[in-house]
């Protein structure tokens, strides 16, 4: 599969992208890229099964720490309303504020000056996805 990303003006092979992301530490893809392409990457010899095992190990350790395998019925019935509660959204917002990444302020360009910056472009697939940007993933 070959996808053309016009915004960046580059062409990216999905399997190569998955290999890069896997080696950068992305263990979970909430979309379909991993499930549709990792097997092909392994068959082509571009990713070792050991690399997939390492990634899965990280995911299962998190699930175990969360009590997913403890047989507690309340965890089996979690739904969108449990995850996207007002309290959880407030907690996620607080975590985002406290975990914000500081940018290197080269040439004193930050904060942006209202006098100097008259327009600002927000680009990308989630540039207008306000509900996705609050971290509301609830699965499907």
Residue-wise pLDDT for 30-47, tens only, equals 777 787 888 888 998 988
Please state, for a pLDDT cut of 90, what percent of the chain lies above it.
Answer: 10
Residue-wise pLDDT for 44-85, tens only, equals 898 899 999 999 999 899 888 877 788 877 766 777 777 788
Model confidence pTM above 0.85: no
Query: Cα separation of 81 and 20, whole Å?
Result: 35
23: Cβ–Cβ under 8 A, 6 or more apart, which residues?
A: 51
Query: Cα separation of 20 and 38, whole Å?
Result: 12
């Amino acid at each position: 599969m070959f996808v053309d990303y016009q915004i960046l003006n580059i062409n990216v092979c999905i399997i190569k992208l998955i290999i890069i992301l896997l080696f950068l530490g992305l263990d979970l893809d909430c979309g379909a890229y991993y499930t549709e392409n990792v097997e092909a990457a392994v068959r082509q010899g571009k990713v070792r099964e050991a690399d997939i095992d390492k990634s899965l190990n990280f995911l299962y350790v998190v699930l175990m720490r969360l009590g997913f395998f403890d047989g507690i019925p309340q965890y089996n019935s979690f739904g969108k309303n449990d995850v996207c509660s007002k309290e959880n959204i407030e907690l996620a917002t607080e975590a985002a504020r406290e975990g914000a990444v500081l940018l290197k302020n080269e040439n004193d360009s930050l904060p942006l000056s209202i006098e100097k910056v008259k327009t600002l472009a927000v680009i990308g697939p989630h540039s207008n996805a306000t509900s996705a940007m609050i971290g509301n993933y609830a699965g499907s």
